[in-house]
Structure 1
Amino acid sequence: MAITSPSRGSGSPVAAGRDVGSIRWVICSLLFLATTINYVDRQVIGLLKPTLQQQFGWTEVDYADIVFAFQLAYAIGLVLAGRVIDRIGTKLGFALALLLWSVAAVAHAWATAIGPIFAPLFAAVGLAYSVSVIGFIVVRFLLGLGEAGNFPASIKTIAEWFPKRERALATGIFNSGTNIGAIVTPLVVPWLTYTYGWPAAFVATGALGLLWLLLWWPLYNTPTKHSRVGPAELAYIQSDPPDPVVRVPWLALMPYRQTWAFAVAKFGTDPIWWLYLFWIPDFLYKTYGIDLKSLALPLIVIYQMATVGSVGGGWLSSSLLRRGWTANRARKTAMLICALAVVPIAFAANARHEWVAVCLVGLAAAAHQGWSANVFTLASDMFPRKAVGSVVGFGGMWGAIGGMLIAKVTGYLLQATGSYVPVFLIAASAYLVTLAVVHALVPRLEPAALPER
């Protein structure tokens, strides 16, 4: 069956391929669920920060160091995850990553028992923390190591299962799971905490990943091996010119500007999302007195807006491509619009009303997710499928390094000033600066000329 490209006047990318089958969208839904669980597990501690800080007497720097441990492990995990997934395949690699992070998430409930076990090791290297901080550092490190597999595996799956015309939309859909996870968490964590205590919140949310594995293992395979993919859908998935077969040693990616453009895009803006995830509940509590019982509605509004931004950002660049724009012009235009939409968050810390602040943060979160959908697509725009997992892992590592820096900076700024004003000024400027650097590195989005085997 011949597959033709959709005309400029046609509907969405989904409509263009709707008559050939829909198994690829089932796979996309699994990625969406995994990403939702991923963000539920990592966000619990952000909601419980005031509770845990009060119970254990943590300083702002203590909490920042706990976040730093997650980011450090996430950076290490991304380097390993991309390579491992490229070698052993998405099915097994994703399953192992999710198993590790689910066990680590559950282990948060016993962090205070884990702390004394590792206290001598911390003391031996001169790190003076309370046992509660040590316990949370250990489990957050393990959580970050496992969670690092989610995005390399998901982006590789999108590259395997979708033609280029649908990748931005599919990426936006699965990436919107970050927002749904952030919405679900404030709905369930306060109830679990007030009913059963904070350890139950970690156990219940951590167990979700084990349930996902029961869906992933029987339902996932590559398109050519999947029993439910018909010839028409397979032809549609493979309708782009075939990528060259290449070997991709990790160091071989380093000389290419495309690699560093993706890394800069992640380094410059991923930390801002981490900032929202781990500190916005605290910002609302300390600035407007919104406690754990009342956090759900403001956070739902913020992340509902972010969900719209995630899908909208992918839709925007895909729509421009259907109008005949080049990938370079379409992606960068969408990214510029998103970067400009973040700027008003500079005024959030001084907003006179809590809902003005919520809307400003929500707009910035939506813009970030629209930006992120396009940044992820850059990897598959500029690299062959075989290299995508490694590139995403490398870029994600730099995003996590940026997250480590923002954790330290935020902790020290809050400890020193008690104000979120300087923190939000950093967020407001990050995207425009990053886009300028990305454009300088890759004025045109051209495929990296990796050597053929």
Structure 2
Amino acid sequence: MSGNESGAAGRTAGTRIPTRYLVLALIFTITVVNYADRSSLSITGSSVQEELGFSTVQLGYVFSAFSWAYVVAQLPGGMLLDRFGARRVYAWSLVLWTAVTLAVSAVGLVTTPVLIAVTTIFVLRLLLGAFESPAFPANARVATAWFPTAERGRATAIFNSAQYFATALFAPIMGWITHQYGWRWVFVLLGVLGFALAALWLRWMDSPRDHPRVSAAEFEKISSGGGLVDLDAPKSGDAQRVQERAPLNAATFRQIFSARALWGVYVSQYAVNALTYFFITWFPVYLVQGRGLSLLEVGFVAALPALCGFGGGLLGGFLSDAMLRRGFSLTAARKVPSVFGMLLATSIALCNLTDSSALIVALMTLAFFGKGVGSLGWAITTDIAPPQASSFVASTMNAFGNAAGIVTPIVIGYTVQATGSFTTALWFVAAHGLLALVGFAVMGPIKRIHFDS
């Protein structure tokens, strides 16, 4: 009996929810907590800064610490995913990043010099970045295995939009907890949620071929539609089921890093993430220090752009797949929403032209909506990555993209301290919307890369 026949034994086609949608719901939920963890300091930052005595520049470095390690760890994270598969690597990643998040709650419980407190949180944020590094490449790997090409745009848009939903959901909660009980309890809550999700992932997740809930009809829909169902096939299984992996040697690196389409993805993803990191680091601080809002108000105000970013992210993915179904080329279906969205994102610069807090929040909301629509980098990566090194390529893209998480918080920290306002910082962030257009131009036609034999 073949692997699929044995896996499909006893399954019924039924009218129940397809398993791939439940898989997507699970990685969406994990990604929501993932982004809540990495953005937790943006909401609690003012309170942490006040209690522990951080300067503005020190806070900027602490904000950037996550991305230093996140970028460096992308390539080894991708190698681990290609070697061991998403199920095991994701589980360990989730457990470790949750433990580090929980540890932040203990910093400063005993009277601690400022430099030691800054260093401790900086190191913990470094570890958080390292341990979270496989998460998005793993999401892309799961989407590549579980979804046919015609559904992959919306699938990647949904898990990518979790970053906005995380802020919309958790910003008010974290603001309220910080206001009522103190910032430490935010990290305790995130620790409990993370460990619960790790247990669920290990108990329920499997490959499309081996998952007991997948019907034969669903398996056929995925595999015939371009889903790489054996991407995470176990090495101990049927040799024909194991996805061929490219050797990571000089020839492989040369083919990956000489691909024009990938360089276009790297540039555009860097630009998209520059806006992301403004919103998950300095935006709440801007509302407190630049606009005079209270911390409790910030928790709710920060949710507005996030909700629109969430809606924009879903719209971009669904619009892209709809264009594919209507006969547009893959290149047009991915690039048209991306270009439109990033043009909208540049509207953040208009905040410098008004003193109205209500109008500023509206412009930020429009910019974040546009950034959501234009965030199709993960869909494009799953469309063009060679199957033999899909996670390595995804990790490379994520490394380039998240370099923005190093640059953006530090640049903003220095400019705010030097100028005493956020004006220059907002122009800097808005310019990345135009940089994304350069990346889309460099990208050229979107099609699957195949290594030379």
1:236-272 CA-to-partner distances (Å, cap 9, x unmatched) read: 0011358784415262522222332222222222122
| 8 A Cα contact 1:351 1:357, kept in partner | yes
| 8 A Cα contact 2:90 2:138, kept in partner | yes
Partner of 1:195: 180
Deviates more, 1:29-38 or 1:413-422: 413-422
Deviates more, 1:73-82 or 1:189-198: 189-198
Deviation at 1:447, TM superposition (A): 1.9
Deviation at 1:39, TM superposition (A): 1.1
Aligned-partner Cα distance in 1 for 2:111–2:392: 34
- CA distance 1:18–1:327, change in 2 (3 Å): farther
Aligned residues: 423
Partner of 1:413: 415
Deviation at 1:426, TM superposition (A): 2.0
With normalisation by structure 1, the TM-score equals 0.88
Partner of 1:25: 21
Aligned-partner Cα distance in 2 for 1:74–1:18: 42
Deviation at 1:388, TM superposition (A): 2.3
With normalisation by structure 2, the TM-score equals 0.88
Aligned-partner Cα distance in 2 for 1:395–1:375: 9
| 8 A Cα contact 1:21 1:230, kept in partner | no
Partner of 1:61: 57
- CA distance 1:58–1:211, change in 2 (3 Å): same
| 8 A Cα contact 1:115 1:135, kept in partner | no
Aligned-partner Cα distance in 2 for 1:36–1:390: 23
| 8 A Cα contact 1:268 1:402, kept in partner | yes
> Are 2:447 and 1:446 aligned?
yes
1:284-339 CA-to-partner distances (Å, cap 9, x unmatched) read: 11222112111232112111111100100101111111111101111111111101
2:428 to 410, 426, 429: 426
> Are 2:435 and 1:436 aligned?
no
Aligned-partner Cα distance in 2 for 1:86–1:408: 33
1:89-124 CA-to-partner distances (Å, cap 9, x unmatched) read: 1101111111111001001012237997xx9xxxxx
Q: Which amino acid aligns with 1:429?
A: A
Correspondences of 1:370-385 after superposition (within 5 Å): 370-372=373-375, 374-385=376-387
Partner of 1:223: 208
Deviation at 1:47, TM superposition (A): 0.8
Partner of 1:124: none
| 8 A Cα contact 1:160 1:385, kept in partner | no
Partner of 1:310: 313
| 8 A Cα contact 2:174 2:186, kept in partner | yes
Aligned-partner Cα distance in 2 for 1:222–1:301: 37
Seq. identity, %: 26
| 8 A Cα contact 2:345 2:366, kept in partner | yes
Partner of 1:9: none
Partner of 1:262: 265
| Alpha-carbon RMSD | 2.2
Partner of 1:74: 70
- CA distance 1:130–1:221, change in 2 (3 Å): same
Correspondences of 1:118-133 after superposition (within 5 Å): 130-133=115-118
Partner of 1:139: 124
Deviation at 1:384, TM superposition (A): 3.4
| 8 A Cα contact 1:21 1:229, kept in partner | no
Aligned-partner Cα distance in 1 for 2:51–2:353: 29
Aligned-partner Cα distance in 2 for 1:210–1:431: 37
- CA distance 1:113–1:430, change in 2 (3 Å): same
Correspondences of 1:17-416 after superposition (within 5 Å): 22-112=18-108, 130-240=115-225, 245-247=244-246, 249=248, 251-252=253-254, 253-372=256-375, 374-416=376-418
